[in-house]
Amino acid sequence: MADGLKIISPIDNISEVEALLAAGADELYGGFIPDLWQERYGPLASLNQRTFATAQISSENELKTIIEAVHARGRTFALTLNAPYYTDDQMPFLLDYVDRMVALGIDGLILADLVLLLTLRSHHPDLEYHASTLAHLTNAGSVRFYANQGITRAVLPRHLSVAEIKAIADAVPSVPCDVFMLVGKCPNTEGLCTFHHANPERIWPCEIPYKIKALEGDGSKTLKKAMARQASWSKTNRRHACGLCAIPALLHSKISGLKLVGRGAPSDAKIANVKMTQEFIALAQAESNFNRYQNKALRAYRKRFGSVCNPNVCYYPEFFPGSADS
């Protein structure tokens, strides 16, 4: 059984630090885009997979203050630098940027670009390097490969089952693995998605209803199922995604942490997600009856999000009530 699961929360500004840590966050992560990046590459160029201001820490001074506050509480902070790739022209800027961020005291970087990883590893060997979900590490071989390039921790993709997650963690025990727990699930596989997330109203392509059609005939049974699944996403809210029912199983694994989505979300939502996760880790440690645990989780979900759980937004649908594996 795991000694415990760390709770990893997003943060966007200094006012959130104390509340998130008091709520139970063990680690914080966030993004910061310098003005020079915007001036040089434009507002839609991806530095860290967010293009709206409220999902960014506003200045280097604020970031420094956040890091100091986090360290004063004995916790850690990781900076997001997780675009799928960067251009050769951007690389000198990025190296200077990371030098400044390290001087501010960041503990780790969340990234996906192998060239950037290999370059930074020699410059800053003491940093913790987290493989982002954009790295698309879907099996033990890919995690092992990234570890050989310098990754010291991996954030596993959203679509993996608990069985797949356990198999990866068991096979590569030298690399701590984190998995997602609350909000932000997507119908697409993030590491392979080429949609551009730049709508100022924050309505992403996967949330816009569209139809899939077979190129020939009516389509296979598998395609029809995929078409129906995609069409159903317009009736659910990806911001209500949840994985609470999997916590008992994850506690009996080598998984390191539970990652919460929400950069750019309201502070009260972030705090509520941390509290909810901490509450159900404690409940899973104390409650031996899974049915009782799950009933409490479903009630808490409905109270938190104002709706019943749905397989679309269930991070671990094998535990969805009534599924064959639950």
DSSP codes, 126-192 = TSEEEEPGGG---SHHHHHHHHHHT--EEE--TT--HHHHHHHHHH-TTS-EEEEEES---SS-GGG
Q: Find the Cα–Cα–Cα–Cα dihedral 126, 5, 254, 159, rounded to 10°.
A: -100
Average predicted confidence (pLDDT) for the chain: 92
For the chain, the domain total comes to 1
Strand partners, 9: 28
Q: What's the one-letter identity of residue 108?
A: G
Alpha-carbon distances of 304 from 10, 180, 264, rounded to whole Å = 18, 18, 19
Residue 214, in any domain of the structure: no
**Residue 271 structure tokens:** 């705090």
Residue 33, in any domain of the structure: yes
pLDDT over 60 (residue 2): no
User: At which residue do the structure tokens 């949609």 appear?
Assistant: 195
The arithmetic mean of pLDDT across residues 2-27, rounded, is: 93
Per-residue burial over 252-273, b if 16 or more Cβ lie within 10 Å, else e, is ebbbbbbbbbbbbbeeeebbbb
Q: Per-residue confidence at 325, pLDDT binned at 50, 70, 90?
A: low
Identity of the highest mean pLDDT range in 171-175, 187-191, 207-211: 171-175
Q: Do residues 66 and 106 lie in contact, with contact meaning Cβ atoms separated by under 8 Å?
A: no
Q: Residue 306 belongs to what domain range?
A: 6-195+241-319
Q: What is the CATH number of the domain that holds 148?
A: 3.20.20.70
Residue 310, in any domain of the structure: yes
Residue 325, in any domain of the structure: no
Region for residue 222 given its phi and psi (left: phi exceeds 0; alpha: psi -120 to 50; beta: otherwise): alpha
Under DSSP, the state recorded for 264 is T
Q: What's the one-letter identity of residue 224?
A: K
Residue 295, in any domain of the structure: yes
* pLDDT > 70 fraction of the chain, expressed in percent and rounded: 98
**Residue 164 structure tokens:** 């797949």
What would the pLDDT profile of 56-85 be if each residue is shown by its tens digit? Answer: 999 999 999 999 999 999 999 999 999 999
Q: Do residues 5 and 250 lie in contact, with contact meaning Cβ atoms separated by under 8 Å?
A: yes
Residue 300, in any domain of the structure: yes
User: At which residue do the structure tokens 């999997």 appear?
Assistant: 246
Residue 13, in any domain of the structure: yes
Residue 220, in any domain of the structure: no
Alpha-carbon distances of 23 from 112, 199, 272, 298, 323, rounded to whole Å = 29, 32, 8, 21, 32
What would the pLDDT profile of 80-139 be if each residue is shown by its tens digit? Answer: 999 999 999 999 999 999 999 999 999 999 999 999 999 999 999 999 999 999 999 999
Q: At what angle do helices 140-149 and 162-171 cross, to 10 degrees?
A: 40
